[in-house]
Chains A and B, each alone.
Chain A
Amino acid sequence: SPAAPPPALPPYFTKGSIIQLADGELKKVEELRTEDFIQSAEISSDLKIDSSTVERIEDGPRPGIALIQFAVGEHRAQVSVEVRVEYPFFVFGQGWSSCCPDRTSQLFDLPCSKLSVGDVCISLTLRELK
């Protein structure tokens, strides 16, 4: 089957983008801190933050695409995602990180670190409704 086009680049990672936290506060994307995500998830009725540890980073099926394997949540469930190498993830206590931080900085002007095996990223799951 023909290769699917890479996912489009979202606009909100561009430096200066305005992000609204769960309490209504507005921040620029480059100013977000780990606490902003944690507090927003605490307020949220349907979203829960999970810790997702990077277990493996491989070249994807096409140039510019990476395959990242995470261990998600307390049960360390294995999840693989295919992303553009410039796609930034938020690492606990560190901030925005991608497989190719130079390219992330070039495209989004967003300060970014190198995503590495062992990094713990912020991810979301839906809360179980009781």
Chain B
Amino acid sequence: NVEPRSVAVFPWHSLVPFLAPSQPD
């Protein structure tokens, strides 16, 4: 018997850093 295994799925944007500069007030 093979037990079902849940596989994590990650959204593509998790892998990309947000490098937005801070906005001046």
Contacts and interface: CB of A to CB of B under 8 A. Distances in A.
Interface residues of A, number: 37
Nearest to B18: A124
Interface SS of chain A: helix, strand, loop or mixed? strand
Contacts of B19: 50, 52, 70, 72, 79, 81, 123-125
Interface of B: 7-21
B20 to A, nearest CB: 4
A122 interface: yes
B12 A89 contact: no
Contacts of B16: 37, 49, 90, 122-124
A94 interface: no
A8 interface: no
